Structure 1
Amino acid sequence: MTDPALASRILDAVDAGFDRQLAFLADLVRMPSLRCAEAPAQDFMATAMRTRGLAVDRWKIEVADLRHLPGFSPVAVSYDNAYNVVGTHRPRTQSGRSLILNGHIDVVPTGPADMWTHPPFEPALKDGWMYGRGAGDMKAGLVANLFALDALAAAGVAPAADVHLQSVIEEECTGNGALACLQRGYRAQAAIIPEPMGESLLTAQVGVMWFQVRVRGRPAHVAYAGTGSNAIEASWPLVQALHALEHEWNMCGHPAFEGHAHPINFVLSRIEGGDWTSSVPAWCTFDIRIGMFPGMELEGVRGEIEATIARASRGDPFLAANPPEVVYHGFQAVGYELPAGTEAQATLARCHERVAGAPLQVTSSTATTDARVLGIYGGITTMVYGPRSESIHGFDERVDIESIRRVTKTIALFVAEWCGTEMRG
């Protein structure tokens, strides 16, 4: 365990630097790091790492480097401006255990900005919360990683093992950013991802799959609508059939998700169709996100999805002769359970209790994180543990300011205990 006097200095250093940490977080939230627009925020992170003396690796992700790897998810956008950033601390003498501090820079779209109390990319502090898109998911955690290392430096020590501070893209849609870090050779004996988990440890997460269904119809002038086949209307029975499958999967259950009333969610997220208001629509596409329990294999899931759509199509004469097409894009992510009883978890639990004054609680998630990438494909004990947030992916996303402080302290203590420390040179 970390020397009590050193631990106190580290905790005091987090407090002393916390105003700077919040200012840094606000600057980062102001950067709308949406998909394909993450580069300015990544440059900001690279500069912050470089000024702290970390060895910075900023590289462009290439689909060709990843496509053959287990865990790859297909992409439908250009990676021309897709960059990861990793800052590495290397000690004078390797005497501790290595660590990855991972976080994602990408954020999801805001929806109509006029539905927000505050503009989504103008961070606001109110009643103990910071508001802004990405404040909770997960720029607060990303910044906590950085300032946890700052706290050790301010206390006069440095980690006695390699620490890789990762700022990745694509967490919200594929996980290919974290996968690219593995492909680049980054490994460690443990990893922390401070996603907004309410200061609990994530022990299980569902898998996630994205796909698009392409439905064809027969166009006709609306004066003779009965001679056509409406592709938009024909799509609805397919959606209903998929929701019936969703219900079946939820009824099967899973021990890790017993506390969730509805852990498997199929969400109709986008729909487009037709070309002219006075024509029977000849086409329709709809996109669906589905969840799946750990242990469900991707090929089997795809088979059930396609069989469900095929059965539902038989009730429509036109679709029976012109079957819908299913195209997979984005997440093709299996579920993940954190192995129990590791030394890394015990260390995190001690550090959390020192800061919070209460035992570390565990939770499971009906969404996915990059933990599956590092855990399954990297063989790394990966712990998802981060601050309390509300309304992530919704209007008025916000993160609890004091929770950020506690999480930063816990991560800083974990780094000191897990990696060991040496005096700064």
Structure 2
Amino acid sequence: MFRTNAQAVPFAQVQARRPYGGDMRLEDTLSAELFLSQLQRERRRSERTKGPLSLAVFRYDSGNINELAAADRLAQHLHRIKRDIDVVGYIDVGTIGVILLDTNAEGAQRFLLRLSTRLNGLRFLGTTFTFPDNIFDRLLSGVDACSPEQSIFFDRTNGCLQAIAKRLIDIVIASTVLVLCAPLMLATAIAVAMTSPGPAIFRQTRLGKDGTPLVMNKFRSMYQDADERIHRDHVAKLIGDAPDGEDEANDKKTWQKLDNDPRITPIGRIIRNLKIDELPQLFNVLKGDLSLVGPRPPIPYEVAFYQAWHLGRILAVKPGITGFWQIESGGNVTFDDMVRMDLQYVANASILLDLKILYRTAAVVVRRAIAFIVSPGAFRNGSC
């Protein structure tokens, strides 16, 4: 993880002992805070215009005086060959970046090649990343998380203390609920196992923070070996581009579970409506894969239908069991609006907001439980 509080100190220290002079403008080498802020602004512009954006990254040992001097010369060359619209700055101590505006992957490689002809024996390993193509490639591979360089395209809103407090709340509440609900979970596992063949727990690969694959646990609510293509087609219609003439209809489609499809078992319909099927996700919370509150973790194949601006909901923060869009919309919302609410949560994340979301989520669960006690038939028929 790159820190965002590194300042333009190493080059300033070397400036006093530069024996060869040079025309590098220190004021043009931005601090990490300013550089990353600029990078995120350019990323948002790229999302709006759908234009390419690349980042070149160079590392050096900031504790080695020889490498500091070499890095100073590297910075001079970067300032000389960059275009006026490009930006040079620190990503972290020992890491320099260049924002290459309106530059695709091939253009970024040409930048590295042009730089290599000027280094005169200096050896620096430069890497380039292009938004959003490299990120989509990594996410769709389903193997690795996005690299730190790729993830810094997105804002990191949580400070260290807030992250610690959020983690403590996750552990305390998840542990408490698991203890209190242990009898209910045992009864649910027995009911699921007795009413349909297959394991009581359904495990599915999702994408966590920075696109890291995680295995999410739920009580199985569908028949074993249910056809995944039904959900895949459902997702494609909700997220993907609508066919010609269907744009208006597609805009009105809301992000809802396929609660009425034939794959769901009778007991599965009940536990889904009561949200009991999600209780095993609390083990994911204790493990650190999920938080109690955060954006919904997507299935890897969903990302194939994403637009660039959708990526922030899965790269900026850890996903959660419940979230801002669920309690604000009741789950009845278009995918684009869901992403907008997730991004609104990311921008305004706080412990107080998490507690409000948890309170409202608990209220919804209690109301559903009361409704089930009053009219259990409505849940079995799927009308609740």
* TM-score scaled by length of structure 2: 0.24
Structure with the greater alpha carbon radius of gyration: 2
- Larger RCO: 1 or 2 (CA < 8 Å, sep 6+): 1
Larger % of helix: which?
A: 2
